[in-house]
Amino acid sequence: MTDTTSTSPTPAASGAAADINAVSLSVNGAPYNVAIATDRNLSGVLRNEMGLTGTKEGCDDCECGACMVLLDGQPINSCSYLAIQCQGREITTVEGLASRDDLHPLQRNILAAGGVQCGFCTPGMLMSAHALLETNPEPTQEEIRIGLSGNLCRCTGYAKIIEAVANTAAETPVAPPSAG
Ligand code: FES
Ligand code: FES
């Protein structure tokens, strides 16, 4: 596993007081130790300290969903989440979806359905869809729309993305309820 230590430059040059915290967290199963200013958001740390640029930054204001990642399995807008709040937590980014040998079924289906045009929204869409299917493996069209309602797409009109999520759900076997 990767153990990455990264240190942001101190703000001493600008005259501001250094306010750096050490944070240990897991990203896509790999441990990271970073020393970061307390006001750094998670999306910036993922992209700049960890090199995980699949997570996009759009509005930087909790509006577009381009920065969506999973925090302990729950979707969050990482632009509006402080990285220091992730101490001891598990983050999953779009880079953590695919296996070494194959795309994740959601990735395969969104490509097959034509749900990717410019692609800027795609990582966030995939993370929201993944979180939805983890909790609701057989969503209705309406439930898919609600599950993706925090993600904006300027290109596709959404229909092909919703089709991709429905196709993924349809091809994924649902475990029967356990007896007793
Ligand atoms: S960049 Fe985070 S919601 Fe838009
Ligand atoms: S594919 Fe361009 S914003 Fe969604």
- Cα of 54 from ligand 1 centre, angstroms: 13
pLDDT for residue 177: 64
Question: Does the beta carbon of 111 lie inside 6 Å of ligand 2?
Answer: no
* pLDDT score, position 112: 98
Per residue in 22-50, pLDDT tens? 999 999 999 999 999 999 999 999 999 99
pTM of the shown model: 0.88
Tokens of 74: 């729950």
> What's residue 173's pLDDT?
74
Check pocket membership of 66 for ligand 1, CB cut-off 6 A: yes
Kindly give the distance from the C-alpha atom of residue 162 to the centroid of ligand 1, in angstroms, as a whole number.
Answer: 20
Domains of the chain, first to last: 4-96 (3.10.20.30), 105-171 (1.10.150.120)
123-165 tens-digit pLDDT: 999 999 999 999 999 999 999 999 999 999 999 999 999 999 9
Rounded Cα–Cα distance for residues 9 and 123 (Å): 29
Q: How many angstroms does the Cα of residue 163 sit away from the middle of ligand 2?
A: 15
Query: From the alpha carbon of 150, which atom of ligand 1 is closest?
Result: 3
